[in-house]
Amino acid sequence: MRTGTTIPVLTVSFGAVMVLMIVLTAIALDRIQSDFQNINSIVRENNVKTRLVNQMRTAARDRTVNLQKMVSSADPFAREEAYVQFNNNGGLFAEARIALLAMELTDEEKAILGQQAALTRTVVPMQRRIADLAIMEENDEANRLLVEGGIPKQDRVFVYLTRLQNLQEEAAEQVVSQANREFFYTKTVLLILAGSIIFISFLIALFVVRRTSLSEKSLFKEKERAQVTLHSIGDGVITTDAAGNVEHINSIATLLTGWSNADAHGTPAREVFRVVRDSDREPLQDPVSRILAEQTVITSDRHTTLVCGDANEFAIEYTASPIFSSDKSIIGAVLVFRDVTEMRALSHQLSYQASHDSLSGLINRREFEARMERLLANIGDKGEVHTLCYLDLDQFKIVNDTCGHIAGDELLKQVATRLKSHVRESDLLARLGGDEFGILFLNCSTEKARLILEEIRKSANDMRFVWDDKSFNVGVSVGVVSIDGNSANLYSLLSAADTACYVAKDEGRNRIHVYQSDDHTLALREGEMQWVHRISSALEDNRFRLYQQLIEPLAADTPELHCEIMLRMVDENGAEVPPMAFIPAAERYNLMSAIDRWVVRNTLDALDQRGTAGMQAEQSFAVNISGQSLCEDNFLDYVQQQIAQHRTNPSQLCFEITETSAIVNLTRAMHFIATLKQLGCRFSLDDFGSGLSSFAYLKNLPVDYLKIDGGFIRDIADDPMDRALVESINQIGHVMGIRTIAEYVETPEILAVLREIGVDYAQGYGIVRPVPLSTLANVAVQAAR
């Protein structure tokens, strides 16, 4: 070939090669740019989805924790704060879900969100119900719904959200895998092109190498971005290869397992992720090996513990899923797990609180009856004999009334400790409520149980309970009933034991009575009719007396004169019976409505007879209304009729309703108050603060006065906690335009503290003792002083 010809040929060839190089290079660069944009778009969308799903999980988990805090907390402010956070987290959950639905979703993602929505529609009403029960302080029912329904259903919601996270993690891994394949293909093409033309143009080759380097950096950056996505997830994440060796763990997984990413890399997952069963500490099968073998998604049960390399342990829940390549072959696994130690501890705490009495630490009535039900269901024809006992303290009401609820609680604790020391390990001891205890002696005859009970009775009789400068003898009355294969149902056994206990009390207290089937009717009639007859006879013979006690204004700008109407019964011998001697019996046998009617009628009669003599124009009289009367359909009509038949101005009547009866019968209380306030009557909420759940109900109860529970008043001069509670109640009452009354004011020191706080009224023996209602003029004289 001639040189002259060669040069044009080479030139043409070079030109052709250059054109080919330029075309191929342009195509390759365009492909790199396209791949970069595509990967960047996919990764960005994946990051947004991951963030939204993580926000939904966090809001759902926090919502459950808020609900558990509402149920377990005794502080109304903490419960209100938890309720606000509970609603806020619901809003965050909905906001994240709406944003997620607005994105482009796969069919699988849409299906999971649909399943989650269907489940959430059943979870939310239950959560609202639990929250309402917690606000209403119906803790037993709230605990039961939360443990049996709320938490399990919320966990199922987490399963769907975890599946959504797994989809995003799989998508992230696929993006990284696809990016690596595209990079390898592009790099190969460029290297072949560079090799073909290296003798033609070193500069062009250098340019291509530089472009390749830039592309490699860009792809590495995208890979790093995908790794950051894994680290941003709030749960622990471990990814493995097809052999089950760890490829990567995120920061949460490092924190929980104790393994760093560098140390864990290449290590079998079974060594990094070691789990045991809570109950027996038996090691569980490695989930990664299992899913690689079964090629299916698996989830943990609710009793799994993760053992860390540093000997720490966490209660966890996990989901393990295989990772498939585009040809459906397994290329690894992803393990997602989260720390549920706090949630599980709260669950155990709620379960314990639902079955135990908080004061004594013994099991409560509900748990006691549940275990008895199981015993009766399995007793069959085995020939087993057990003994059921009811124990009732004989002097508890005297201690409670004389020294207050704190002393009563301390007495119950001491009695519970003594009872524990006498019963066997196999026996069942419970506090059934108030001053009543129950013992179930398992595989124990009545004769043997009676020997143990006699020791308990003597121990209680020898016990001297001392409080301040007062000392009390403590006795116990015991009812006993035998249980065997022929025993009746639970209700009949409990009723028989209760009856036997009342017989023991009626026979003189501090004794043991064994139930016999042939004395059931007689014992029941004697126990019931004794007080029924005495109260009914006193009503028929008009042997009740009305007393009044001044409620003194504490500030010059509180001019009203206020009195409380009190009740005494006169027995057959002419002796006065204090209210706490017959009121509990009247409440037990549904006689309170008749007594309340007598009080309303005779109070109005007495006020009519006195007219305005010795009374100030703004003087009012507080009449106590029981929960039974509040629930009676015709009682409101009766009160309206009595007001219409008397001359007394309705504005001089103030009806007192206890906080407990008002909250339990909220709808009736609201109707009762609204109806009588239209006539001009006033209302006072008695024992306010005793339940510590009152503030949420004040908006629905338009009362004029709050009577602060005396338990907070007795020690207010010495106890800063009681003072803080009274200040809080007083402040909230004043903000709502309600005046406050402190009862059980016994000393000048207490009175001085109440004036300093700004309480409007005070009532108690430290101011004036009750006097007969006929002495209306005395009240005006005392007020003038």
**Is residue 92 very low, low, confident or very high in pLDDT (cuts 50, 70, 90)?**
confident
Q: Helix or strand or coil: residue 334?
A: strand
Pick the range with the lowest mean pLDDT from 22-31, 353-362, 484-493, 681-690.
22-31
The mean pLDDT of 191-216, rounded to a whole number, is 64
Residue 777 has pLDDT above 70, yes or no: no
Residue 198 has pLDDT above 80, yes or no: no
What percentage of the chain carries pLDDT values higher than 90?
19
Residue 170 has pLDDT above 80, yes or no: no
The values of phi and psi at residue 468, to 5°, are 55, -120
Length of the chain: 785
Q: Where is pLDDT greater, at 10 or 438?
A: 438
Pick the range with the lowest mean pLDDT from 121-135, 168-182, 204-218, 699-713.
204-218
The residue to which tokens 């595209």 are assigned: 182
What is the C-alpha separation between 297 and 333, in angstroms, rounded? 10
User: What pLDDT was estimated at residue 533?
Assistant: 79
User: What pLDDT was estimated at residue 224?
Assistant: 59
The values of phi and psi at residue 387, to 5°, are -130, 130
Instruction: Kindly report, residue by residue over 95-148, the tens digit of the pLDDT.
Output: 878 877 887 778 877 787 787 777 777 777 877 887 777 777 777 777 777 777
Residue 450 has pLDDT above 60, yes or no: yes
User: What pLDDT was estimated at residue 17?
Assistant: 58
User: What pLDDT was estimated at residue 784?
Assistant: 38
Give the Cα-Cα-Cα angle 691, 696, 701 (nearest 5 degrees). 95
User: What pLDDT was estimated at residue 751?
Assistant: 93
Residue 738 has pLDDT above 60, yes or no: yes
Q: Where is pLDDT greater, at 273 or 143?
A: 273
Instruction: Kindly report, residue by residue over 293-331, the tens digit of the pLDDT.
Output: 888 888 877 678 888 866 678 888 888 888 888 788 888
Instruction: Kindly report, residue by residue over 335-381, the tens digit of the pLDDT.
Output: 888 888 777 777 777 777 778 888 888 989 888 998 888 888 887 66
**Is residue 673 very low, low, confident or very high in pLDDT (cuts 50, 70, 90)?**
very high
Buried b (16+ CB within 10 A) or exposed e, 255-294: ebbbbebeebeeebbeebbbbbeeeeeeeeebbbbebbee
The mean pLDDT of 597-619, rounded to a whole number, is 77
Instruction: Kindly report, residue by residue over 472-497, the tens digit of the pLDDT.
Output: 888 899 999 988 877 778 888 888 88
Instruction: Kindly report, residue by residue over 242-269, the tens digit of the pLDDT.
Output: 888 888 888 888 888 888 888 888 889 8
**Is residue 521 very low, low, confident or very high in pLDDT (cuts 50, 70, 90)?**
very low
Four-residue CA torsion sign, 51, 52, 57, 62: positive
Four-residue CA torsion sign, 518, 521, 522, 524: positive
Neighbours of 303 (CB within 10 A): 12
What is the residue-averaged pLDDT of the chain?
Answer: 80
What is the C-alpha separation between 60 and 234, in angstroms, rounded? 13
Rounded to two decimals, the pTM is 0.40
Please write down the long-range contacts of 75-79, taking CB distance under 8 Å and 24 or more positions apart: 75/692, 76/692, 76/693, 76/694, 76/695, 76/696, 79/134, 79/135, 79/693
